[in-house]
Structure 1
């Protein structure tokens, strides 16, 4: 009986040891984001174009993109380096987006000389005429960028809208908020950006 207990005990220790080795081996082989060598998430041909990984999270380089605004002008995010940027992902059919927009319009007027505001419309789920009407109804003066194929929403993992991202002058994400922002939360986000 004592011998069976001893065998079970050693078998248990052996099993735990093998489990630990398997976990360690898995960690060694798992992909890592190396800030020195990671390539930009949307670089053509997967070439390494940045020395810092692009992820839609604070502390990482904002993934680059090019979209057209409502007037057909091309806007490329990387061309905005040197400016502080606020991106707001939204759609005209989204009730929280509608509720948030008056505050966003007010903040864009209040901070227009310090922060470049851009609305990124999830046009892939929206109707362009509805977007134009929404912009007119809410008197939006900042550029609205049309994400017609949903690529930029996917790039920024905008799974819930509205979603707001602030980006510093060097192209790094300062803050990201999923869901509707209160006016005070929005202003705090902007103030945090201005401190950078």
Structure 2
């Protein structure tokens, strides 16, 4: 049994270390146009050549403990900066349900737009390999930050985007 845990631990470390280049791959690239539909039925169209505000996407799942630990920070950022930036919480849809995502949001009083990516369209568009994933897109449609967790670099980039959106 102990050997199985060591193997599992080694595999987790390997997965974490090998995913870092994938996370950085899209930084600096422009995102093509995309749209998402919130669980409330609102369609958000992002024509990346005509963005009025930067975008902060958070890919998450209800079963992901890091995701749920970070969600209050994401909601607080939304409440503080929603007039300067678009925010979307994208549930990756894997081993999850709309009902569970809605229940989680309702229980915590979150207001940030929630998308349930049932067919993986948005996950595929952004080459998401794991959760959580934070993606910041500037007004020019360029990915300027990707990270698996909330980091100081993410906070700095967020502050820069908000300051530059006036």
User: Normalised by the shorter chain, which TM-score bucket?
Assistant: 0.7 to 0.9
Work out the CA distance in 2 between the residues paired with 1:185 and 1:99.
18
Describe the shift of the 1:101–1:110 C-alpha distance in structure 2 as closer, same or farther (beyond 3 A): same
Structure 2 residue 91 is matched with structure 1 residue 128: no
Q: Deviations over 1:142-176 (max 9, x none)?
A: 11112110122122111111101111112111111
Written as runs of structure 1 = structure 2, the 5 A alignment for 1:19-58 is 57-58=26-27
- Structure 1 length-normalised TM: 0.64
> What is the count of residue pairs matched by the alignment?
140
SS in 1 for 2:112: coil
- Structure 1 runs (4+) greater than 4 angstroms displaced: none
> 1:139 aligned to 2:109?
yes
Q: Which consecutive residues of structure 2, in runs of 5 or more, have no partner in the other structure?
A: 1-23
Q: Aligned with 2:145: secondary structure?
A: strand
**Higher Cα Rg: structure 1 or 2?**
1
Q: Does 1:97 align with 2:73?
A: no
**Which consecutive unaligned segments of at least 5 residues does structure 1 have?**
1-54
Partners of 2:102 and 2:128 in 1: how far apart?
21
Alpha-carbon distance between aligned partners in 2 of 1:109 and 1:88, rounded to the nearest angstrom: 15
Q: Please point out which of 108, 119, 124 is paired with 1:149.
A: 119
The answer (yes or no) to whether the contact 2:133–2:146 under 8 Å persists in 1 is yes
- Corresponding residue number in structure 2 for 1:87: 57
Q: Does 1:190 align with 2:158?
A: yes
Distance 2:25 2:156 in 1: 20
| 1:70 corresponds to | 39
8 A contact 1:56–1:62 mirrored in 2: no
1:161 maps onto 2:131 in alignment? yes
Higher normalized contact order (CA 8 Å, seq sep 6+, divided by chain length):
2
Residue in 2 that maps onto 1:29: none
RMSD: 2.1
Distance between the aligned counterparts of 2:25 and 2:46, measured in 1?
13
Q: What does the per-residue CA deviation read over 1:108-149, in whole Å, with 9 as the maximum and x for residues that have no partner? A: 112122111111111243111001011112222111112110
Corresponding residue number in structure 2 for 1:175: 145
Q: Distance in 2 between matches of 1:120 and 1:171?
A: 18
TM-score normalised according to structure 2 size: 0.75
